[in-house]
Each structure stands twice: as structure tokens, then as C-alpha cells.
Chain A
Amino acid sequence: KNQVEQSPQSLIILEGKNCTLQCNYTVSPFSNLRWYKQDTGRGPVSLTIMTFSENTKSNGRYTATLDADTKQSSLHITASQLSDSASYICVVSADGNFGNEKLTFGTGTRLTIIP
């Protein structure tokens, strides 16, 4: 069964500090891994997408890494801001039948930035 596990479940850090969120997955056959940011009461917003051959990708202060051998990914946030308070969701895509893909969503890490 395809699974995506994220840790920690929740995290509180001071504004300006860095943090790293973790994602472990058991998804096969792997196609790509995505990180989304979801503000409270809003839909998820795409941050990064990485394929098997990519081991790092940045989007501003967000840097995602992927280790396809150990099936782990991390999302590093640099110099956190109050607006970074949100849930961060790891999503892993598997190639399905007939060219369709199947996404498995993690339950997210709830990040709170305090001033």
C-alpha cells in the first residue's frame, strides 16, 4: 500500500529561525514528489515538484531535497516569516495504469511561526 508519512506533526518556531520538515514514503512506481503549502481555510499551493533524477529544488526561501534511494524528502525553510505559518503537505506521485498517475497525500506538518 502506498503511504506518505510526515514529521513532525506540528512545529512551533520563532520568526527568523530555520526549520526542516520531513517526508518518508513507500510509493511505487515513483514518478515525482511535491510539496504544497496550505494556509488555514485555503486550498494547497504548489511549492516544488521533483522527479527521480532531481535531488534538490528551491523556491525562494523553500528548499526541498529528495533521496530516492532511502525514499525520503525534506523541506527546509530559511529565515522564517509569520506568513510561513501553514500546513505543509508532502505528495508522492506513482505512475498508474494507462498513463494515469496516482497521488498519495501526507497528512501534513502544521508549522506555526511566533514573533
Chain B
Amino acid sequence: NAGVTQTPKFRILKIGQSMTLQCTQDMNHNYMYWYRQDPGMGLKLIYYSVGAGITDKGEVPNGYNVSRSTTEDFPLRLELAAPSQTSVYFCASSPDRKRGYTFGSGTRLTVV
């Protein structure tokens, strides 16, 4: 199984540009999450979803949007990129909230 697949792996954006980070899982997990990891900091939750059609804000949602039209896909949208959004973004999924998460390999985003 592929697990959680994130694309792209790397991206450089100019301030004000928009982009979508893709995340797909093939494990039929209901729960999906987006985290960002900044140097020297613990992962911070951006958005999460408990099933298709249901999303909710995490700890640091400002500047981001998500959608969950299918169980498999959970894209993260940046509308107006800012330097503060330079980070490594991880998508994760889990079958329920008590189980360990399966993480993707991350997207390294630089906003210049």
C-alpha cells in the first residue's frame, strides 16, 4: 500500500501566490490531518477532518483552507502566500482518533 501520498515534495512560491498541497491516502481512514513543522518547534495542527464533507480548524488555521470531498483526498489550499507560511507541511491519517497516525513524507514550502 502507498499509505499517505503528498505532492509536491518541494515548492517555492512568491508572496501573494496561491497553491494547493495535495494529500491522498489509500487506507480508507476516516480521519485526516494537516500539520506544519517549523524548525525547533513541535508540529502544529492546521486543519483536520473526521470524514468526507466534515472539516474543522486546528491550532493554526489562518491563511489556509481545506476541503474533503472524498475519503481519500484532503487538499490544503494557500490563497495568498506569506513568508510566515514557509514551513514543512505534513498530511496524516488515522482510522480513528485513538490510533497512531500515518504521516506522508511532507512538502517543503518556501515563500519568498
Interface residues of A (CB under 8 A from B): 4, 31-32, 34, 41-46, 49, 89, 99-108
Contact = CB atoms under 8 A, between A and B. Distances in A.
B103 A34 contact: no
Q: Is the interface of B mostly helix, strand, loop or mixed?
A: loop
Contacts of B42: 4, 89, 104-108
Given A43-B92, A43-B105, A105 B100 contact: no
Contacts of A100: 50, 56, 97
B41 A42 contact: no
B100 A46 contact: yes
16 contacts: A41-B105, A42-B106, A43-B92, A44-B103, A45-B103, A46-B102, A49-B99, A49-B100, A99-B97, A100-B56, A101-B98, A105-B43, A105-B44, A106-B42, A107-B41, A108-B42
Q: Which 9 A-B pairs have the closest CB atoms?
A: A43-B103, A105-B42, A46-B100, A105-B43, A101-B97, A44-B103, A107-B42, A43-B105, A43-B90
What secondary structure prevails in chain A residues at the interface with B? strand
Interface string B76-110: 00000000000000101000011111111110000
B100 A34 contact: yes
A109 to B, nearest CB: 12
A12 B102 CA distance: 28
B53 interface: no
